[in-house]
Structure 1
Amino acid sequence: MEETGDAAEAGAESAKQPRTERGRRTKRKLLDAAAQEFAEKGFHEASISSITRLAGTALGTFYTYFDTKDAIFRALVRDMSRQVGRKALATIGGETGALAIERLALESFLEFAREHKEIYRIIDEAEFVDPASYRHHYETIASRIEGRLRAGANSGELRDDVGEMHAWAIMGMNVFLGLRYFVWGSDGDPEDLAARANRFIAAGIAAEKMRGS
């Protein structure tokens, strides 16, 4: 049976995965160069030749790992999602408290946004260049948050009705905090912002006398 759609794309990507450490380093260079190229020029003005020049590789090397400019763009969106997830896991470490986990996860994302401002332009452009990757990016992050919230509910630290809606709301807050303080400005401190946002999650914004009314 002929492969179509996502299955064919996954097969092509798997076939181009580097099998040596040198190959993995080369692919990493290409992805990092693509991030710089797409962030500076946008998808339509970016070129494969510029990406390989930035990466310090031969033009032919590009096609060892990616078939087209669209392919490396899709791979870059997936790679950025994975980087955010890996950084969050490393920052959370052995923490088990649900609220503390969300504070650390946000802190790690804000640090990532400060170091990689290009993620905003690239992900935003994905909405039009590759809507499936755009949607997958946010669904993946929301799913991670929802899993953490449900674990917190099961432990008794969070309300037992937390779920998908709460995960998307928290993700939206996190994304726009990064945009405001590390893309549009540089006046934020990841640790302080994460702590204040965490208090907001824990207590809301209603005055104490209004709670329960």
Structure 2
Amino acid sequence: MNDTELKTPKTARGLKTRNKLLDAAEKEFGEKGFHDGAISGITQRAGVALGTFYTYFESKEAVFRALVEHMSNRTRTHVASRVAGAPDRLTAEREGIAAYIELVRQNEDLYRIIMEAQFVAEEAYRAHYDRFARAYQKNLTEAAARGEIDPAHIEERAWALIGISVFLGLQYGVWDKDKPAEDVADAIDGFVRYGLDRQER
């Protein structure tokens, strides 16, 4: 059992305080990075006493790992809610790309924190993408069973689709925010459906 599990709040009030600390940590690490960010900066942003921090987290490393998991869960929940009503998997892919780009634009610190995690908390970084991959594989397997997509190479295609979203989010969510997210999703829709095949559709 890790330190995050040991300090999971048992009450609604405790959960609210822990989430307040995670939101503050997101701002602290997003602005300053992990190494320059400080526990005192987190508690000041959260408006709580220093001792309150240690009620929920053992260290700066522990809150950073918890933050990566928190942001990962938030991302997956946001995208899943947006694609829940899609009539088929291919439509869900298109809507998911737009939803992800929009989320990135609303959460500017997402990329800095997740990318820094590969150097600060590699296990949390890998877990972030592993969770996405497992969910993707489940969704693709179910779609294949319904006859919506080709059933071949589910694992590899799951990782490829993750890569598409990650770099579209970086380009159009962080670097260039002018193009509407829906336009980006429309532009990539044909590629997701047909790959690089030149055959007329």
TM-score (norm 1): 0.89
Q: Which residue in the other structure is 2:134 paired with?
A: 143
**Alignment partner of 1:41 is 2:32:** yes
Contact 1:113 1:182 in 2 (8 A): yes
Instruction: Name the SS for the 1:133 alignment partner.
Output: helix
Mean Cα deviation higher: 88-97 or 41-50: 88-97
Distance in 1, matches of 2:139 and 2:189, equals: 14
Gaps of 5+ in 1: 1-7
Contact 1:153 1:162 in 2 (8 A): no
2:84 corresponds to which of 90, 93, 101: 93
Mean Cα deviation higher: 95-104 or 43-52: 95-104
Distance in 2, matches of 1:162 and 1:27, equals: 40
Provide Cα deviations, 1:79-104, integer angstroms capped at 9, x if missing partner: 11100111122112233401112122
Cα drift, residue 59 of structure 1: 0.8
**Alignment partner of 1:118 is 2:103:** no
1:17 corresponds to which of 8, 18, 22: 8
Q: Which residue in the other structure is 1:58 paired with?
A: 49
Aligned amino acid, residue 77 of structure 1 = V
Q: Which residue in the other structure is 1:129 paired with?
A: 120
Distance in 1, matches of 2:162 and 2:77, equals: 16
Distance in 2, matches of 1:73 and 1:96, equals: 37
Cα drift, residue 144 of structure 1: 1.4
**Alignment partner of 1:71 is 2:71:** no
Mean Cα deviation higher: 119-128 or 87-96: 87-96
Aligned amino acid, residue 205 of structure 1 = L
TM-score (norm 2): 0.94
Distance in 2, matches of 1:66 and 1:123, equals: 19
Contact 2:172 2:181 in 1 (8 A): no
Aligned amino acid, residue 56 of structure 1 = G
Mean Cα deviation higher: 81-90 or 18-27: 18-27
2:147 corresponds to which of 156, 161, 167: 156
Contact 2:111 2:170 in 1 (8 A): yes
**Alignment partner of 1:29 is 2:25:** no
Mean Cα deviation higher: 187-196 or 58-67: 187-196
**Alignment partner of 1:177 is 2:177:** no
Total equivalences in the alignment: 201
Aligned amino acid, residue 92 of structure 1 = V
Instruction: Name the SS for the 1:135 alignment partner.
Output: helix
1:168 corresponds to which of 141, 159, 170: 159
Cα drift, residue 30 of structure 1: 0.6
Contact 1:149 1:162 in 2 (8 A): no
1:196 corresponds to which of 187, 193, 197: 187
RMSD: 1.5
Instruction: Name the SS for the 1:107 alignment partner.
Output: helix
Distance in 2, matches of 1:148 and 1:154, equals: 10
Cα drift, residue 46 of structure 1: 0.6
Instruction: Name the SS for the 1:77 alignment partner.
Output: helix
Percent pairwise identity = 43
Gaps of 5+ in 2: none
